[in-house]
């Protein structure tokens, strides 16, 4: 009985030692090496969905236990505070997510773009900034359906996103900004001046933060189409970037843009990785 216990214990220990490095390796493969690894666009949309107002939304994305924000752009060892700056033009709203990098510089992380499309309908997307994510990264609410192909061990589970624009009119924060008398929320906080409830924390390592944010991906899809065109036109001319952040991450951004890795995961555990490399064409002088 004792021998059997030892065998079982050491077998389990050996399996654990083998699996932990593999899990860490998977996390490293998913990392882009860019600041965007440390801010969940999907998580931000989930917080916007839960919030009752843009002010509450700002608090939710800066709450440690929500695992949305893990940014440290100025590398001072503390997670950055992300402020929300609202912009409005008619029925069009833009909510800029911005980090005070220093006393003189700010960096846009992303923008939530919202448009009313009917009496009781609205559409939104969040756009990750190209200096933070390597390219403009568009995320929106989605509906999923799962297709199953093959049999037995050869079965492939493929999640296909329906091309359906989700109506976000019933989200409390959306109803709040479209009510009569709404005053556009512009965060009053700035570099070294933050709300009393906020306490910065040490940023988590990527392999720790990645699993904590993954569950937000279930109901949000990365897409290539700008659906909220009018709101994007409001935001684009006012985009703010930090020279310091751009300089610090320019090499990694360039590498990302020339070599991209796309990982597709299903709830059945299938992982597909596709890597695309851009070709550099050198023209010969005549």
pLDDT of residue 145: 44
pLDDT of residue 212: 94
pLDDT of residue 8: 57
At 108, is the secondary structure helix, strand, or coil? strand
pLDDT of residue 165: 86
Beta partners for 88?
93
Q: What is the pLDDT of residues 223-260, one digit of tens each?
A: 999 999 999 999 999 999 999 999 999 888 988 988 77
Q: Provide the whole-model pTM.
A: 0.78
Q: What percent of the chain has pLDDT over 90?
A: 67
Residue-wise pLDDT tens for the chain (286 aa)? Answer: 555 545 455 555 454 444 444 444 444 456 889 999 999 999 999 999 999 999 999 999 999 999 999 999 999 999 999 999 999 999 999 999 999 999 999 999 999 999 999 999 999 999 999 999 999 999 999 976 434 343 433 333 344 445 578 999 999 999 999 999 999 999 999 999 999 999 999 999 999 999 999 999 989 999 999 999 999 999 999 999 999 999 999 888 988 988 775 444 434 443 444 444 444 344 444 4
Terminal CA-CA length for the chain: 83
pLDDT of residue 144: 62
Spatial separation of the C-alpha atoms in residues 242 and 257, rounded to whole Å: 19
pLDDT of residue 176: 98
Q: What percent of the chain has pLDDT over 70?
A: 73
pLDDT of residue 163: 55
Spatial separation of the C-alpha atoms in residues 114 and 57, rounded to whole Å: 15
Spatial separation of the C-alpha atoms in residues 107 and 99, rounded to whole Å: 5
CA dihedral 217, 86, 56, 166 (to 10 degrees): -40
pLDDT of residue 174: 98
Spatial separation of the C-alpha atoms in residues 54 and 63, rounded to whole Å: 14
Here the contacts of 87-92 (C-beta below 8 Å, separation 24 or greater) are: 87/184, 87/234, 87/235, 87/238, 88/177, 88/184, 89/230, 89/234, 91/115, 91/116, 91/178, 92/116, 92/230, 92/231, 92/234
Spatial separation of the C-alpha atoms in residues 253 and 34, rounded to whole Å: 7
pLDDT of residue 259: 77
Q: What is the pLDDT of residues 79-117, one digit of tens each?
A: 999 999 999 999 999 999 999 999 999 999 999 999 999
């Amino acid at each position: 009985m004792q021998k059997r216990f030892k065998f079982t214990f050491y077998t389990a220990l050996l399996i654990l030692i083998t699996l932990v490095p593999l899990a860490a390796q998977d996390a490293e493969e998913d990392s882009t090496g860019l600041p965007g690894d440390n801010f969940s666009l999907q998580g931000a949309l989930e917080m916007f969905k839960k919030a009752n107002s843009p002010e509450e939304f700002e608090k939710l994305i800066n709450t440690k236990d929500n695992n949305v924000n893990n940014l440290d752009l100025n590398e001072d060892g503390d997670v950055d505070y992300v402020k929300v700056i609202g912009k409005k033009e008619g029925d069009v709203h833009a909510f800029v997510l911005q980090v005070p990098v220093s006393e003189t510089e700010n960096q846009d992380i992303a923008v939530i773009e919202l448009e009313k499309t009917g009496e009781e309908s609205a559409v939104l997307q969040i756009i990750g900034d190209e200096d933070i994510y390597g390219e403009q990264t568009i995320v929106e609410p989605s509906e999923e359906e799962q297709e199953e192909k093959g049999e037995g061990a050869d079965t492939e589970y493929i999640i296909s996103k329906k091309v359906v624009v989700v109506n976000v009119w019933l989200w409390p924060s959306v109803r709040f900004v479209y009510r009569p008398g709404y005053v556009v929320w512009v965060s009053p906080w700035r570099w070294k001046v933050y709300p009393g409830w906020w306490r910065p924390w040490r940023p988590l390592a990527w392999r720790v933060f990645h699993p904590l944010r993954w569950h937000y991906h279930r109901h949000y899809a990365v897409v290539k189409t700008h659906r909220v065109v009018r709101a994007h036109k409001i935001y684009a001319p006012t985009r703010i970037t930090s020279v310091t952040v751009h300089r610090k991450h320019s090499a990694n951004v360039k590498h990302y843009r020339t070599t991209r890795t796309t990982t597709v995961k299903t709830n059945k555990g299938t992982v597909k990785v596709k890597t695309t490399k851009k070709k550099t064409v050198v023209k010969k002088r005549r």
